[in-house]
Amino acid sequence: MKKKYFSILFAFLTPLLFHSVYGQCEGVTLESLSIPGPFSVAALDEEDGIRNGPDYNGATIYYPTNGIPPYASIAIVPGFTAGPSSVEAWGPFYASHGIVTIIIGTNSPIDFPEARAYALLDALETIKQENIRPASPLLGDLNLEQLAVSGWSMGGGGAQRAAVLDPTIAGVVALCPWLPNPDFDHNSAALIFSGQDDTVAPPSLHADLHYEATPVSTNKLLFEVENGDHSVANSPTGGDYSVGKIALSWLKLYVEQNDCYCPLLTDNLLVDPPAASKVEQDFICELLANNSPELALNYYPNPTQDRVYFEIFQELNFELYSPYGQRLQSGQLSSSQSYIDLSTYALGIYYLNIDNQVVKLIKTN
């Protein structure tokens, strides 16, 4: 599990760094995840001049009118036979928190997940065009490196597939996704919602398998809403508002790369959540690791099946930690003993403290 991050990393970095980072987080609280958020929202459609993409049918862009650009963006597609109105509530919600949202229809109501994946990619192209369209109120206001995709049912399966097709996508929010035999080889942080009583896409046949099919090296979270049906995540109010709060925190953390939202997930929203019948999580918040100086040593391969080799020119002390903060090994690396052996450990992420720096090592199969 990647979620146990602070206990490992606090010991290795200075209090000065901690205070400089967290001093910026005072306004990020559970109360700040309100529905709606602090910003006013407006909408654009084709009549306002936005692009009409060939791989989808009709779109509405929701955007904040008084936020602070540049903005992250997310594209959302509905499910089998459903129209944009089925997921419309997400548009104003995300926009009110500073995330530009495009909600699209499909060329055919019976489009399967792969077609919905291409529809999402086409929607992101429309977002990119708004950043350069002279008459757009979003001209120059979008961060095109902070893009996410989402969808309900077959659209949720399509969102995962879109991340496979486009590795620049930073995040995925799958809403009770439907897609048999999933294969999701991507690095986009993936949040999966499911409903315990979903009879259309039973979690054991879809969402659970989607979580397992998302690589172990990818940050991922599965949140199953107790007594939830197939549409429990169609609105941010689902699961007694927990769906919206978790989705927003996930996008802020992994798409906007705002580490202030990390403790909201790990210390609050995912701690014995009353709305959940099941939570599976395999993610890490990398606030402190990202601020650690880059290790000057060369090391390879990473990910690895067994050993990670280091180019060592002097003896260096090391400690290897599990994702739970348990110290697994300690010793010295040298020119005669220049590797860390992960062969006896389970697949996942481990942390190596070496030369007063933290290195993330990935054990794969």
* Active site residue ranges: 153, 198, 230
Phi, psi for residue 172 in degrees, rounded to 5: -130, 135
Using the structure block, give the residue that is written with the tokens 């062969």: 343
Q: Tell me which residue of 183, 179, 124 sits closest to 157, measured CA to CA.
A: 179
**Residue 182 preceded by cis peptide, ω within 30:** no
Contact 228, 257 (CB under 8 A): no
SS3 269: helix
Distance CA 257, CA 280 (A): 22
Using the structure block, give the residue that is written with the tokens 């999933």: 182
User: Tokens at residue 362, please?
Assistant: 């990935």
Distance CA 214, CA 192 (A): 10
Residue 303 CB coordination number (10 Å): 16
Distance CA 211, CA 287 (A): 24
Phi, psi for residue 297 in degrees, rounded to 5: -80, 150
CA terminus-to-terminus distance, the chain: 16
